[in-house]
Amino acid sequence: MDIVSSFNRLKDYCEREDFRGWDPYDGLNSTLFRRLPYISGKRWPRLAWIQLMKRSPFNFRPVVGVKKEHNPKGLGLFLAGYCNLYKREPAAPYLDKIVYLADKLISLRAEGYSGSCWGYNFDWQARAFFQPRNTPTVVATTYIANALMDAYEITKEQRYLTVALSSANFVLYDLNRTDGAFSYSPQDHTQVFNASLLGTRLLSRIYHYTRDASLLKPARLSAAFCCSRQQENGAWSYGTLPFHQWIDNFHTGYNLECLTAYQYYTHDHSFQKSIENGTAYYLRTFFTEDGKPKYYSNNLYPVDVHNTAQLIITLSRLHLFGEHRALIDKVLGWTIRNMQDDEGYFYYQLRRGLRSRTPYMRWAQAWMFNAMSLYLLEIKNQNDQNSYL
């Protein structure tokens, strides 16, 4: 399995596209749908249209007027990926991309909030709420602010750090809180565990820089709430609402990654047992013997490339990469063989008898770029350590 060749083909594709692309959830960017009278402003038609565009094995976006665009979260994942590449090999082209992406992200901040924050480049209708284009979310904001902190650590450009640190004010003063859990966005009151824990992760990393003790209590309350809702077998449902009761692969990985980051930055190990139970559940539940990543705890399909990416990221962040290298290689190898196109991009999902070949930039390419860059950095670090043995 030639990981470097696979990654370089992906990297070449993303750079050719200037990191612009479509998204599984960008259906409401359709100029055709927006012109439809009556239904374009209704909840259920919007949900149906998004699901049609997302689930179709055919890409109708060019026909219905959905253009390729920059997605801020996708750019954040690419930025973090180039930081990984620079740590692996401090080359000028990687530094150029770091500066380009960081500057672009600063220009894409949402306006009118208490701190730096970012959303998605499309209207998004969920079952629980509607979010207009560029509505900031804790998910996008956390990934982007973390990437800007990574960029600061490489470039020492103070502006990147200043922008990233101000995102704490968005989490503290713009998000809603219920029983300590952070909402997904300022416009909802949902308790989605991975979203709340991403808020915890962001506050704890900002505390690492600022030593502002006022960040610790809300970060810990969020973590405590989410761990209190963990099931005895180590699993988490997606959230607390009746229609949030599924258990899936990559959101479980998010939860583990965030709790581990909280421990690292705050030195509070209160939730170590939750991490251990969750990790054991994650590893025994979501990957088949032949290397396929399952989507749900009780269902293989759809086989989603995001789950492969999150496996690499989760085990790296939990410092379990070396211990579970065989699993990572098996899952990554299967994904490259079965889900990478000759043009270099990765397919979104495989369903029974169907393959979604649409090159989604955020969901598939940015996540795999981020994960594979981290894989290559892990391998280099392991090789460097072994050279001194």
The answer to whether 271 touches 201, Cβ cutoff 8 Å, is no
Residues 6+ apart with CB under 8 A from 236: 193, 194, 226, 229, 230, 247, 251, 252, 255, 278
- Please write the tens of the pLDDT for every residue from 84-103: 999 999 999 999 999 999 99
Beta-carbon neighbour count of residue 243 at 10 Å?
9
Q: Please check the confidence at residue 70 and state whether its pLDDT lies above 60.
A: yes
Residue 251 pLDDT grade (very low, low, confident, very high; cuts 50, 70, 90)? very high
Beta partners for residue 181, in sequence order: 178
Instruction: Report H helices in 38-185.
Output: 43-55, 61-64, 72-88, 92-107, 138-155, 158-165, 167-173
Least Cα distance to 352 among 307, 303, 286, 309 occurs for 303
Q: Please check the confidence at residue 308 and state whether its pLDDT lies above 80.
A: yes
> Looking at residue 57, what is its pLDDT?
85
The C-alpha angle 376, 381, 383, rounded to 5 degrees, equals 95
Q: Please check the confidence at residue 218 and state whether its pLDDT lies above 80.
A: yes
- Please write the tens of the pLDDT for every residue from 122-153: 998 887 778 899 999 999 999 999 999 999 99
The two three-digit tokens of residue 140, written as one number: 């996008």
Which percentage of the chain shows pLDDT scores above 90?
Answer: 90
Q: What CATH class does 3-26+69-386 carry?
A: mainly alpha
Residue 53 pLDDT grade (very low, low, confident, very high; cuts 50, 70, 90)? very high
The answer to whether 345 touches 359, Cβ cutoff 8 Å, is yes
Which percentage of the chain shows pLDDT scores above 70?
Answer: 98
Q: Where in the chain is the domain with CATH 1.50.10.10?
A: 3-26+69-386
Q: How far is CA 235 from the centre of its chain?
A: 19
Q: Please check the confidence at residue 234 and state whether its pLDDT lies above 80.
A: yes
Least Cα distance to 77 among 348, 380, 361, 381 occurs for 361
Which residue do the tokens 């919007």 mark? 46
**Separation between Cα atoms, residue 156 and residue 48, nearest integer Å:** 46
> Looking at residue 388, what is its pLDDT?
42
The mean pLDDT value for 232-236 works out to 98
Helices 138-155 and 72-88, axial angle in degrees (round to 10) = 30
The answer to whether 86 touches 94, Cβ cutoff 8 Å, is yes
Q: Please check the confidence at residue 386 and state whether its pLDDT lies above 70.
A: no
- Please write the tens of the pLDDT for every residue from 331-350: 999 999 999 999 999 999 99
More confident residue, 184 or 389: 184
The answer to whether 291 touches 302, Cβ cutoff 8 Å, is no
Q: Please check the confidence at residue 114 and state whether its pLDDT lies above 60.
A: yes
The answer to whether 296 touches 237, Cβ cutoff 8 Å, is no
- Please write the tens of the pLDDT for every residue from 366-375: 999 999 999 9
The C-alpha angle 104, 381, 265, rounded to 5 degrees, equals 65
The mean pLDDT value for 231-257 works out to 98
Q: How far is CA 283 from the centre of its chain?
A: 19
> Looking at residue 389, what is its pLDDT?
39
The mean pLDDT value for 197-222 works out to 99
Helix H, strand E, coil C: the string for 100-126 is HHHHHHHHCCCCCCCCCCCECCCCEEC
Q: Please check the confidence at residue 222 and state whether its pLDDT lies above 50.
A: yes
**What is the rounded average pLDDT for all residues in the chain?**
96
The answer to whether 346 touches 335, Cβ cutoff 8 Å, is yes
Rounded alpha-carbon distances, angstroms, from residue 42 to 38, 53, 131, 263, 316:
7, 17, 13, 43, 43
> Looking at residue 383, what is its pLDDT?
78
Which residue do the tokens 């581990």 mark? 260
Handedness of CA 340, 341, 345, 351 (dihedral sign): negative
The mean pLDDT value for 286-298 works out to 98
- Please write the tens of the pLDDT for every residue from 193-204: 999 999 999 999
The mean pLDDT value for 47-62 works out to 92
